[in-house]
Amino acid sequence: MSPHDADANVMSDEQFRMFIRAYQLESGRRLLITRKGLGDEAIYFYAEQYALVRLTPQANRQLVSARGELLTFHAANLQLRDAQSNGDFGREAQDYREEQVTFAGSEPHTLAGSLLIPHGDDPHPAVILYHLANVHERDYYRLYADHFARNGIAALIYDKRGHGDSTGEALGSQIYPLIEDADAAFRFLQSHPQIDPQRIGVWGMSNGGWVDLGVAARHPDATFVMNLSASGVPPSHQEQIRRVNVSRLVGASPNQLAFLDTFWQLLFAFLIHSEWTPELETALARIQQEPVWRVLLADTGGAWVLDVPIAEIKREYGSAWQDGGFDPAPYYAQLKCPVLCLWGEDDTVLPVAESIDQIQAALQASQHPDWTVRTYPNATHLLYLNRANVDEQTNEAMHDQMQDVHFPAGLFDYLTAWAKQRLRLP
């Protein structure tokens, strides 16, 4: 049971869903009400220009913002009062229309989503938004889809298989099955009567930046590839770096970090290619025998190695992680459509400089005519800005909980302007 359901007078996930939309206020403010996650994991927030502000449910039609504003909903209307009791009223912003859609996935399951369709004559150019590894439902991606739709580009967002309203066995970050479903989404848009099948681009963030490459490889007529915080190296190398960074944040010493860096490299080589070595066996024995590693691995996603017997790992886990060897460079090398890649310079999840080098080398080798790479100072993996004079862990906690976080100014305008140019929109 969600904590929002514990009190019948507090707004539930299902009730909140009725208010997910953009509102135009009399003061000129425009708020996009949406959420990240569902149930116990749900974080409600509004997006205003380049800020994300957390919302906490109160009564079943009321939320309080992290800025101290009280939001009260009446059907498609919104009343907002700030700390000075100033009232602001708004109605649903009708900048585009939204169609609830379903389409068949790659197996006997159904994917459910929302298609944001601009006003004006059909058919429309479109973009499909592909998921982060751990944000599975559609509503977070409205942040970006809203801007595309307001600028004449239809945007498809959908729930990942086994999440939200999509059926089937739940997927997390498995690249190859996600490509199959992502391809189904592309083919669905190609057949949609209000979409121009010759002008469909793909957008991916983080894990989605590997997935959309798989789709573009199957559809050379894709109009563009737009990747945000996408790794230019295989998942195994990215995870090696990310897990060492997590251990650094919880206090690992330089010597411990150097050991972990080598350990993850050895273990991933085994998980991908069944490369078992005496060095790996020795490292695993040390990990399991010394108590300090339980603390240092707790938040990495790799703590399972502490409790699985070494003989079982050797017998059962070889070649168990095929996705770990996914190499994006050859996919970039075969792209013919325009490519945009953006990163935050403070990204600790992936190696930004190495990703840029690998992607640029692939595109240069293929003599690709239209590609752009760009970084944003002081921005993280999700392109949230770190606050000055706030330590790394506090910034990360604020971002994770949507405590009044900000994107770089101009980010959304840049994305839509770049896409419109490639789609030949005014």
Q: Catalogue all structural domains in the chain, each as residue range(s) with its CATH number.
A: 3-92 (2.40.128), 96-234+326-422 (3.40.50.1820), 235-323 (no CATH)
Calpha distance 119→100 (Å, rounded): 16
For the chain, the three-class secondary structure string (H helix, E strand, C coil) is CCHHHCCCCECCHHHHHCCCEEEEECCCCEEEEEEECCHHHCEEEEEECCEEEEEEECECCEEEECCCCEEEEECCEEEEECCCCCEEEEEECCCEEEEEEEEECCCCCEEEEEEEEECCCCCEEEEEEECCCCCCCHHHHHHHHHHHHHCCCEEEEECCCCCCCCCCCCCCCCHHHHHHHHHHHHHHHHCCCCEEEEEEEEEEECCHHHHHHHHHHHCCCCCCEEEECCCCCCHHHHHHHHHHHHHHHCCCCHHHHHHHHHHHHHHHHHHHHCCCCHHHHHHHHHHHHCCHHHHHCCCCCCHHHHCCCHHHHHHHCCCCCHHHHCCCHHHHHHCCCCEEEEEECCCCCCCHHHHHHHHHHHHHHCCCCCEEEEEECCECCCCCECCCCCCHHHHHHHHHCCCCEECCCCHHHHHHHHHHHHCCCC
Using only the alpha carbons of the chain, give its radius of gyration.
22
Calpha distance 256→216 (Å, rounded): 41
Neighbours of 37 (CB within 10 A): 18
Question: How confident is the model at residue 3, as a pLDDT?
Answer: 43
Question: How confident is the model at residue 2, as a pLDDT?
Answer: 43
First to last CA, the chain: 48
Prediction pTM value = 0.92
415 neighbors 372 (Cβ within 8 angstroms):
no
112 neighbors 159 (Cβ within 8 angstroms):
yes
93 neighbors 25 (Cβ within 8 angstroms):
no
Neighbours of 393 (CB within 10 A): 10
**In the structure encoding, which two tokens stand for residue 345, read together?**
């310079």
Q: Which of 34, 57, 58, 56 is nearest to 46 (CA)?
A: 34
Q: How many residues does the chain have?
A: 426
Question: How confident is the model at residue 404, as a pLDDT?
Answer: 79
80 neighbors 42 (Cβ within 8 angstroms):
no
* Pairing, β 87-92 against β 195-205: unpaired
Count Cα atoms within 13 angstroms, Cβ side, for 17. Answer: 12
pLDDT tens-place values along the chain, 426 residues long: 344 444 556 788 888 999 999 999 999 999 999 999 998 889 999 999 999 999 999 888 999 999 999 999 987 899 999 877 678 999 999 999 999 999 999 888 999 999 999 999 999 999 999 999 999 999 999 999 999 999 999 999 999 999 999 999 999 999 999 999 999 999 999 999 999 999 999 999 999 999 999 999 999 999 999 999 999 999 999 999 999 999 998 899 999 999 999 999 999 999 999 999 999 999 999 999 999 999 999 889 899 999 999 999 999 999 999 999 999 999 999 999 999 999 999 998 899 999 999 999 999 999 999 999 999 999 999 999 999 888 887 888 888 888 879 999 999 999 999 999 999 998
Question: How confident is the model at residue 9, as a pLDDT?
Answer: 62
Question: How confident is the model at residue 391, as a pLDDT?
Answer: 84
208 neighbors 158 (Cβ within 8 angstroms):
no
Contacting residues for 369 by C-beta, under 8 A, at least 6 apart: none
Calpha distance 79→29 (Å, rounded): 12
